[in-house]
Structure 1
Amino acid sequence: MKDPRKIEEILNKPIYFDIDKALKRGWELFKAEPAILVIYTILVVGLSGGVSFLFEDFSTIFSLLVGPALTAGYYLLGNRISRDDNIEFSDSFEGFKFWFPVVVVSLITGLFTIVGLIFLILPGIYLGVAYSFAMPLVIFGGFEFWTAMELSRKLITKIWWRFFLFLLLLLVINLVGALFLLVGLLITIPASYMMVYAAFEDLSGDLLDEDTSGDSPIFTHESES
């Protein structure tokens, strides 16, 4: 893990976010493994819908305790695809290896965002966007939740309006997907996650060590793979 002082030096450097590059790179990642990503999305949507329909009282618990690990699965698949690894469908569930940290960071970022929305709305919108990389930083950087949240906030704040526009474009993409009898969402949802991962990979720069050991995946930038 990087020295905190080195991280501050990196964050003080100018950052440019190329929206078009993130969209194209994310689409390339999706096209590399469309079958696995679509099937995984069917599973995720099916589980969420099934729990909500059959066990309505437990749907919130499912979203809070299982949803983050399922979301982490998308980022881990994106990382594997970016590294040109051989991928099997079982790899989709590697997010559960990071169950506790991703649940914690998801709960805390969600709580902060909701509180911001309740009180003044704008702070909630700001935090909702700024914490977009908190989970990937937990997964790939091995940071504890607060450090990951602050690194994400400081990084995205430097290009907040561009990143907000990027997320709005992803929202539009998914709305278009929903118009096609919701079937289009099976493509736009995983493609959107790949695009967010591509943006994370591009913007994270030297925040992450490439020699990550243990169970954490090795993080390799596109330009270095």
Structure 2
Amino acid sequence: MYIDFHTHHPARGGERVILDGRDTWGIHPWQAHLPHTLPHGPGTLLAIGECGLDTHAPAPMPTQTDVLRAQLRMAEEWRLPVILHCVKCLDTLLALHKAMRPSVPWILHGFRGKPQQLRSLLDAGVHVSFGFRFNPESLVACPTERLLLETDEDTRPVGLLYQEVARLRGVSTESLEADMQEQFQRLFARHDRHAQAHQQDNSGDRQSKKERAHEE
């Protein structure tokens, strides 16, 4: 089974899609200037995102940064990984990471940068997801435990991406497939349990308050 970390085309010809009912939620930097209603709890969320920073987006950078910070704090509170979009703002993003010192994984999707940029992200503890457009040196240099694969807006089958990445990294497609499944579980399963526990704790608190109010 291929893990496609980030896609805008889940149903392609000849592909079997497995959906488990879990969602992600985030305010994309291109919508940072618009009003939004924040979720009240993690619910069925698997991650926060896509969120981030983009120099081409209409919202001014201070607004984008404030909106991103709010979502990063939410991710920390709910113990959810963060899926990040970053266009020409890597230094700002890394500065945020240094200031906030997150305890949950940050995953930068659609990474196309050079090896030096990859090294900065890896040193900060950030994971990276590669699509069909990538820097080959960066792809080869990325440790497996920090790597994810995605099709994003590309309509080609994700299997083609796995074949190309496996060829460049000198591994079998089957081995890469197994590694990506393990990586996905490692990133999301533990934090998914934390979010569910948070939801149960909050439900218990609300029930206790209702019971106390009824007794009074």
Fold conserved (TM > 0.5)? no
Greater C-alpha radius of gyration: 2
TM-score (norm 2): 0.30
Higher-RCO chain (CA-CA 8 Å, sequence separation at least 6) = 1
Question: Counting strand residues as a fraction of each chain, which structure ranks higher?
Answer: 2
- Greater percentage in helix: 1
